[in-house]
């Protein structure tokens, strides 16, 4: 479980759908966050900090308020960092947000802390009575006071302040979007509603909303209403964005068009309930496997502040391919280094063994990438380059060449893995796409693959799975075994653990059909 289930009863929700007042705004001495601004250093830049990671308390509005602070492991007091707030749900705590609950570090601050990889300062405020009623604007004032405290002691890029929260925490994030649009660069509202007020609510701010179609605590119509506030404020073209069918256990992410430059609006609807961590193809909520953390991180990460950093990362090394099938291949490499931090990698692909132009095939926040949709019996070449937060590009890596296997025989199928997420001691493959590459319908399939030495399977879904040593065998189930020619199923997936520091991934994927 990601959180306690006692979010709030319907009668409580009705009582909370009220408007709180705005409170005292952050003073003009704090630089507001603006989309086109260059990085603005705070008073804490260049200082030896007195704040430390962990639980702390302060006075705000005549009350003692507590919060948890997380400073990068190797803090550089001359580097302006992003500042990211994570708000808990009703009945939750700052510790739940900070620890990631049962999902651990992979879900700390809704999964953003792991993805930030020591490039951001995180703060989890504790709500009064484990909620965010924001009576008289007291919680807005608490956030203002936290910003003053942190930025007086730590080096923060004031154009890179972000906030996100689930349920009641989503309501608090929405309140900040309304009342502090010039202070925060962007907000993420997970399954939220107008629970903490909306003082102001007329200025633009980058906004992403995520909500389940079957949310029985805060109906998705409430999330749509919040979203539409910033569709209007940001000048976006109104639309009814597509949403997945009920029963599909999938999600659809829509970026609105026509928005003011620097003020995008994104809507992520999923077939699920009241949760910040839905998993495609499953009714589970799991911080280790959810797609939401990557979607929100990518949304926040697009607003990389202007800096004086002109030093590119080093080139990735050790580029290798594995598990090549008729329709895809898996790439892995050794991480680049950078004076501030690597923010991601561009994967470049060219056709043929020689000649041809390298074009971008995708991006990755990790040191692996699965390329799918390739043509059978075809040769491709790959290179990888690194990016840092300032947009500097590394030299390209060495080149690796692959040739896809043939396809199209009767009864044949392929298995193409996609790395949904990975961390130091594990990873999730979702989906493991099974495609019928033959000219006739198949009524079942069997997939085999090999786990690297030391890796163990810790979970799987939508297949009957057995292991023998490092060999894993996954067989179709009654509902996903029949595939027409060219059809595919994306319901299969698995999770595995690995030794710390090991970046290897499974290989040798093969699919057969009776």
CA of residue 132 relative to chain centroid, distance: 24
% of the chain beyond a pLDDT of 90: 58
What was the pLDDT predicted at 500? 78
> Partners of 447 in the beta sheet?
474, 511
- Using CA atoms, how far residue 460 sits from 422, 492, 505, in Å, is 15, 8, 16
Task: Pick from 68-77, 213-222, 295-304 the range whose average pLDDT is largest.
Answer: 213-222
Closest CA to 272 of 251, 296, 302: 251
Query: Does residue 453 or residue 85 have the better pLDDT?
Result: 85
DSSP 129: G
Widest distance between CA atoms in the chain: 75
For residue 107, list its beta bridge partners.
Answer: none
SS3 (DSSP) at 175:
helix
pLDDT over threshold 60, residue 286: yes
Looking at residue 442, the DSSP 8-state letter turns out to be B
| Segment 358-382, tens digit of pLDDT | 888 887 878 888 888 788 778 899 9
Query: What pLDDT was estimated at residue 438?
Result: 86
Residue 308 has pLDDT above 60, yes or no: no
Cα distances from 91 to residues 138, 191, 444, in angstroms, run: 18, 15, 46
Q: What are the distances in angstroms from CA 331 to CA 205, 310, 364, 369, 411?
A: 37, 28, 11, 5, 28
Percent residues over pLDDT 70 in the chain: 88
Per-residue pLDDT tens digits for 147-195: 999 999 999 999 999 999 999 999 999 999 999 999 999 999 999 999 9
pLDDT digits (tens, 9 = 90+) for 320-337: 999 888 778 999 999 998
pLDDT in tens, 473-506: 899 998 899 999 999 998 899 989 888 778 888 9
Judge whether residue 407 has pLDDT over 70: no
What per-residue confidence (pLDDT) applies to 307? 45
DSSP helix/strand/coil, 346: strand
Domains of the chain: 54-302 (3.40.50.1820), 317-403 (2.60.40.10), 409-513 (2.60.40.290)
* pLDDT computed for residue 23 by the predictor: 46
Asked if residue 447 lies in contact with residue 510, where contact means CB atoms within 8 angstroms, the answer is yes
């Amino acid at each position: 479980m990601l959180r306690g289930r006692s979010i709030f009863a319907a009668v409580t929700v009705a009582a909370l759908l009220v408007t709180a007042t705005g409170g005292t705004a952050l003073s003009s001495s704090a630089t507001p966050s603006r989309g086109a601004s260059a990085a603005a250093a705070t008073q804490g830049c260049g200082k030896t900090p007195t704040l430390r990671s962990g639980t702390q308390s302060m006075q705000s509005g005549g009350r003692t308020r507590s919060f948890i602070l997380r400073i990068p492991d190797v803090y550089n007091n001359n580097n302006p960092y992003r500042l990211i707030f994570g708000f808990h749900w009703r009945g939750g705590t700052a510790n739940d947000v900070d620890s990631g609950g049962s999902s651990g570090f992979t879900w700390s601050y809704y999964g953003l802390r792991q993805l930030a990889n020591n490039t951001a300062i995180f703060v989890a405020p504790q709500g009064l009575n484990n909620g965010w009623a924001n009576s008289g604007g007291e919680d807005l004032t608490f956030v203002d006071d936290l910003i003053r405290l942190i930025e007086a002691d730590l080096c923060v890029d004031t154009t890179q302040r972000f906030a996100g929260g689930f349920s009641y925490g989503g309501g608090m994030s929405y309140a900040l979007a309304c009342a502090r649009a010039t202070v925060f660069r962007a907000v993420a509202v997970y399954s939220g509603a107008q629970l903490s007020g909306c003082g102001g609510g007329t200025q633009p701010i980058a906004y992403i909303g995520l909500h389940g179609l079957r949310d029985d605590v805060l109906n998705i119509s409430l999330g749509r209403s919040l979203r539409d506030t910033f569709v209007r404020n940001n000048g976006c073209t109104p639309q009814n964005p597509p949403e997945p069918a009920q029963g599909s256990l999938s999600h659809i992410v829509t970026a609105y068009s026509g928005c003011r430059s620097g003020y995008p609006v994104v809507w992520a609807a999923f077939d699920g309930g009241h949760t910040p961590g839905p998993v495609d193809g499953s009714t589970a909520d799991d911080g280790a496997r959810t797609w939401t953390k990557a979607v929100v991180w990518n949304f926040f990460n697009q607003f990389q502040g202007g800096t004086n950093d002109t030093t590119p990362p080093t080139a990735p090394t050790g580029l290798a391919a594995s598990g090549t099938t008729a329709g895809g291949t898996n790439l892995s490499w050794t991480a680049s280094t950078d004076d501030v931090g690597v923010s991601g990698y561009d994967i470049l692909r060219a056709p043929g063994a020689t000649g041809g132009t390298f074009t971008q095939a995708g991006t990755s926040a990790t040191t692996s990438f699965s390329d799918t949709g390739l043509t059978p019996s075809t040769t491709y070449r790959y290179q990888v380059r690194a990016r840092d937060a300032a947009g500097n590009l590394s030299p390209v890596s060495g080149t690796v060449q692959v040739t896809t296997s043939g396809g199209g025989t009767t009864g044949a199928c392929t298995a193409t893995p996609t790395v949904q997420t990975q961390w130091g001691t594990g990873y999730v493959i979702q989906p493991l796409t099974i495609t019928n590459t033959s000219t006739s319908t198949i009524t079942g399939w069997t997939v085999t693959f090999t786990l690297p030495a030391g890796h163990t399977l810790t979970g799987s879904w939508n297949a009957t799975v057995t292991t023998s040593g490092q060999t894993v065998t996954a067989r179709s189930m009654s509902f996903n075994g029949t595939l027409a020619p060219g059809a595919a199923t994306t319901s299969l997936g698995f999770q595995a653990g690995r030794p710390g520091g090991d970046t290897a991934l499974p290989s040798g994927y093969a699919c057969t059909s009776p």
